[in-house]
Amino acid sequence: MAKIRTFIAIELPAQLKQAADKLIVKLKAENSEIRWVRAANLHFTLRFLGEIEQNQVAQLADGIKNNLKDLQPFPLKLSGLGCFPNLKRPRVIWLGGDGDLETLNNLAFQIESACRVNGFGKADKPFSAHLTIGRINDPHGLESFINRLSSVSFTSDEFEVHEVVVFKSDLSPRGPTYTALAKVELGVS
């Protein structure tokens, strides 16, 4: 069976992708050396799985559905801008998650639990409520641009999280292409 690169995420509504993309276009005009994320690929990653067998997706989706049956839809929005690991050594530029973060963290915990029960090891990084908008290969020469990021203000409209998606990620020189393999609604048994 073929292996596929996968992750579990919250897909953003089109209007939020557009709002974030306006910011990305503005930032890209100031610095094109950064690999900026295309609007179509914006999402909240809940759990990166890496290479898995394609036949594992259905069982994993069932496990997620079981874990999310008591979790009701909740509000979320994008707010704030920052870098991982920090502004002194930036590798990833992100927009922060805001809104019902307690439920979002519970959602991430339930996803992690379903992954562990289905034979996937512990996540390599703890969950952090963020949306990656850019990746930096070499921060040298970007100091003034990165310092300016801390003064950029961004807050989106609120949206309702009502499902999570298991995505396949196909990598190419033009960037990744994401395909939904399974969608799991919150609060459905």
- Joined together, the tokens standing for residue 166 give 């298991």
Tell me: pLDDT of 14 over 90.
Answer: yes
- 57-68 helix and 101-117 helix, angle to the nearest 10 degrees: 140
- pLDDT tens-digit profile of 101-116? 999 999 999 999 999 9
Tell me: pLDDT of 6 over 80.
Answer: yes
Q: For residue 9, how far is the Cα from the chain centroid? A: 6
Contact 162, 79 (CB under 8 A): no
* Domains, in order of start, for the chain: 3-185 (3.90.1140.10)
- C-alpha to C-alpha distance for 100 and 20, rounded to whole angstroms: 20
Percent of the chain scoring above 70 in pLDDT: 99
Identify the pLDDT of residue 9. Answer: 97
User: How are beta strands 163-170 and 3-11 bridged, if at all?
Assistant: antiparallel
- Joined together, the tokens standing for residue 66 give 């079981």
- C-alpha to C-alpha distance for 51 and 131, rounded to whole angstroms: 22
- C-alpha to C-alpha distance for 26 and 95, rounded to whole angstroms: 14
Question: pTM above the 0.85 mark?
Answer: yes
Least confident of 19-23, 53-57, 149-153: 149-153
Length of the chain, in residues: 189
Identify the pLDDT of residue 1. Answer: 65
